[in-house]
Amino acid sequence: MTLHPKVIDLTLDRVHRLLAALGNPERSLPPVVHIAGTNGKGSTQAMMRAGMEAAGATVHAYTSPHLARFHERIRLAGELISEPALTALLDECVQANGLDEITFFEITTCAAFLAFARTKADWTLLEVGLGGRLDATNVMSPHLSIITPVSLDHQQFLGETVAEIAFEKAGIIKRGVPVVVGPQTDEGMAVIEHQAARMGAPVLAFGQQWHVMQEHGRLVFQDENGLLDLPLPNLPGPHQIQNAGAALAALRHLGFDAAACEAAVTLAYWPARMQRLRTGPLVEAAPQVELWLDGGHNPAGGQAIAATLARMPQRPTHLICGMLNTKDVLGYMQPVAAQATTLTAVSIPGEKNTLPAEVTRDAAIAAGIPATTAPSVAEALSNIAAKDPEARVLICGSLYLAGSVLRENG
């Protein structure tokens, strides 16, 4: 962190410099699937990994941010990177970098590339950190690109409109490399299609080359290879239908069969995405409460949560919410207001960019949710359970809060 620039300026210069000093490991990766988008990147990656591994393939995976511990970001041939391996890689990268400025994400991405290049695997799944065009992951030649739904988030870095943000995401499109595109707004799709045409990249787009829907309690997917009738994704929420569609379109394009596609939707595991907590100290403290955890943190995330709650069996739903001061808090609150009985705002422990609980509370009230504050998630849960012991409680608002909860809950 002492090497981190004072201001984050998105550029690939520092990454190219360090990778060159390391012998350009990005040129020796197993075939890469590169995934960008505002929401759904991690879930789409998790489904692809589940499908590939069920078919017997070994898979590297890179994702961010981590929740409970950094090692979650780097998965080598199916296994989370070990402490000794991570330590050695980071030491090597720091030594090669010298005293030059480099961001935390840039140097750790270089470490991941080094690990992936040195470990045999069949595939590499790379999730973009921020944006796409100038993201530290955007320095290799992928086998396939994926762009999940684009919406407003990180405007201070990526632009104020969906079109501007879509331009940054579409920066992962490489010349002649096919791109799977999830559901988009018209303005976002226009930008992505323009960039793909400019790069001569074949487009496999939702609603055009592939379709996905929920029908009679099943997931129905169709592309030029035919129709798949599958169970619903085990990751809960209607938004996971479209994430599954992108994963299935990618797997089918890469030649994986129907069994791999079924495994993708039924075996994927991705924590803090409408995750039901069933064990641990928090659960034991309020045993009759139905406890859920979600890390969605932008307006589209709020819409996904609201749609998921609307389809669940009706019962009083109390939110425990903590958010970062860089987020559109009211935009997140407004969709969930119709599903929330109350909201208890907390500050995110140990996070310098946390929004004060009082500000989160005021935004909830402005959105029409009865709201209060609590000094911690545990105290908020205790207060809710005392008043409504059989309630549904959803801890939400930030992946940083979700990580804190997962650590606290063992």
Same structural domain for residues 305 and 392?
yes
Which CATH number do you get for residue 336? 3.90.190.20
Residues 6 or more apart whose CB falls under 8 angstroms from that of 166 comprise 150, 184, 187, 188, 189, 191, 192
In a domain, 7, yes or no: no
- The residue among 243, 267, 291 that closes a domain is 267
Same structural domain for residues 312 and 390?
yes
The total of structural domains in the chain comes to 2
Question: Which pLDDT belongs to residue 373?
Answer: 98
Which CATH number do you get for residue 154? 3.40.1190.10
Q: What is the domain extent for residue 313? A: 275-408
Which of 106, 122, 126 is CA-nearest to residue 61? 126
What is the Cα–Cα distance from 404 to 388, expressed in whole angstroms? 24
- The residue among 248, 267, 286 that closes a domain is 267
Same structural domain for residues 257 and 221?
yes
pLDDT classification of 382: cutoffs 50, 70, 90: very high
CB neighbourhood size of 410 (10 A)? 10
What are the φ and ψ backbone dihedral angles of 357, each rounded to 5 degrees? -55, -35
The pTM score is 0.91
Same structural domain for residues 36 and 158?
yes
Question: Which pLDDT belongs to residue 151?
Answer: 83
- The residue among 267, 297, 317 that closes a domain is 267
The separation between CA 283 and the C-alpha centre of its own chain, rounded to angstroms, equals 25
Same structural domain for residues 246 and 283?
no
Question: Which pLDDT belongs to residue 23?
Answer: 98
For range 293-322, the mean pLDDT: 93
Same structural domain for residues 189 and 297?
no
The structure tokens 């210069």 sit at 13
Torsion angle defined by CA atoms of residues 127, 133, 137 and 139, in that order, rounded to the nearest 10 degrees: 140
Same structural domain for residues 122 and 143?
yes
Question: Which pLDDT belongs to residue 50?
Answer: 98
Per-residue pLDDT tens over the stretch 121-142: 999 999 999 888 999 999 999 9
Per-residue pLDDT tens over the stretch 152-209: 665 566 667 989 999 999 999 999 999 999 999 999 999 999 999 999 999 999 999 9
